[in-house]
Amino acid sequence: MDQVNFFKCLADQTRLDILTLIVKQGERCVCDLIASLDLSQPKISRHLALLRTSGVLQDRRQGQWIYYSLQANLPQWCLDVLNSAASQDQRFDAVDLSACESLNCCE
């Protein structure tokens, strides 16, 4: 993982929020992220695509839903930075899937 590109990924608030959610709560589907961040699907998807092509996230498809998680082979220094950043942000400590459940998605 190239340090410059990794830190460029973290330099955007939406991408940082997505990564914080995934670090704190584990694998998330797009609808989880839309509900948690209160952002549009195109905006979330654009940022997820960048994080995936940069090698920070990986995805898996289950039916029509796509789930995102941290890339399995991220270097330890990347994980250390992500964990440190996530520990400083208490906004996503509690897992609240009620908004996602109301969308009847990813079931």
CATH value at residue 86: 1.10.10.10
pLDDT for res 102 = 55
pTM of the model: 0.88
Residue 41 in domain: yes
Calpha distance 31→28 (Å, rounded) = 8
Alpha-carbon distances of 23 from 15, 88, 99, 105, rounded to whole Å: 12, 12, 20, 22
Residue 107 in domain: no
65, β-bridge pairs: 62
Domain count, the chain: 1
Residue 19 in domain: yes
- Overall average pLDDT of the 57-69 stretch: 94
pLDDT for res 92 = 78
- Residues of the domain holding 49: 3-102
Q: pLDDT confidence of 79, banded at 50, 70, 90? A: very high
